Amino acid sequence: MNKIKVGVVGTGFIGPAHIEALRRLPQVEVAALCEVTAELAKEKADALGIARSYTFEELLKQDDIQAIHICTPNFLHYSQSKAALLAGKHVICEKPLAKDLSEAEELVELAAKTGLVNAVHFNLRYYPLARQMKSMREKGELGEIYSFIGSYLQDWLFYETDYNWRLEPDKSGDSRAIADIGSHLMDILEYITGLKTVAVMADFNTVHKTRKKPLKAVETYSGKMLQPEDYADVPITTEDHANVLLRFDNGNKGVITVSQVSAGRKNRMSLEISGSKKTFNWCSESPNEMWIGNRDKANEILMRDPSLVNEDVRSTITFPGGHNEGFPDTSKQMFKEVYAAIAQGKQPENPTFPTFADGYRELLICEKILESNKAQAWVTI
């Protein structure tokens, strides 16, 4: 088997997550790692067991590297994705695709022109029961969709001493909670329901108007507390919490809440979709079960099991029922579809995986939500 050789750019939380998922695909080899300096790239590559290490410019010159994973801070996504496409590489980019719509539009057009495989890492679509909800909706089991109630709650920025590059607009953009986790929520909403969001009304809250930025290196979730003199006070302009009312193209409504300051909620996405026949409820903290609500008979719990889900969902499940699958499996299942396309050498006409066009769509929605919060008014998408 001639393996597809891959280069991964960036070694924060998500870079190694990509690497772990890629290593579970038999036709893929993580051949190279890239960081901001050759020294750091070598250090990280050695730690992760990757033979070759480069700076970004050097990585693009490697003729045997067919695909590039962009796992860097947000402000680098546009320039690095563009450079990789121009170098003839297939690109899998972390979200957001870019910092603004004009950059994202350029990437969509460039990707289409090259014909190269392009994907954005909206991996949460690949929880098997998310696809099951989509499949059941497509088969008419949900009926007309009446409402969507969603939330995505975390606590990793709960304290004023919690700090990360995502708090800095020049690196992350003008929106934080919505752009970071709300984008996953808006993507999976439209993916499952088939609806388009046509208008938004947003209200943001910055709980910590000032945060204490560590003057020494400290890892997210490490629990290490520094001394008062080890911090610098930094004003915060992006949202810790947001509520958004939604209007859909079928005339009905929805609401989402996102928060990065909800104590005890480590990474909880919850979806409740109510239709004219049933209600679906699913939560990422218990991803292997789905609640199905009925009016005139007992409610049901569907467990993730390849023998119980719809036939078109089974490809997202590797293990038998009762053998739980979770967050790391979502990236593996997404990359499985992406690399089937890369093996063919071009972007499919109707990709099953999220593309640069999907990345553009989520940026558009996020920008309209940001505009709505500033105006404190409904904004049409």
Query: Any idea which residues carry the catalytic annotation?
Result: 95
67, amino acid identity: A
Length of the chain: 381
DSSP 90: E
- Classified as helix, coil or strand, 225 is coil
With beta carbons less than 8 A apart as the criterion, state whether 281 and 175 touch: no
Buried b / exposed e over 97-133, threshold 16 CB at 10 Å, is bbbeeebbbebbebbeebebbbbbbbbbbbbbbbbbb
Assign 3-state DSSP to the chain and report helix, strand, coil percentages, each to 5: 35, 25, 40
Cα 104–109–111 angle (5° rounding)? 95
- State how beta strands 90-93 and 118-120 pair: parallel
- What amino acid occupies position 309? V
Alpha carbon distances (Å) from 341 to 208, 285, 330, 336, 351:
44, 31, 17, 9, 8
Encoded tokens for 130:
């998310």
Which of helix, strand or coil describes residue 32? strand
Q: Where are the beta strands (DSSP E) in 171-288?
A: 197-205, 210-214, 231-235, 241-248, 253-259, 268-275, 279-283
> Counting beta carbons within 10 angstroms of the beta carbon of residue 300, is it exposed (0 to 12), middle (13 to 18) or buried (19 or more)?
exposed
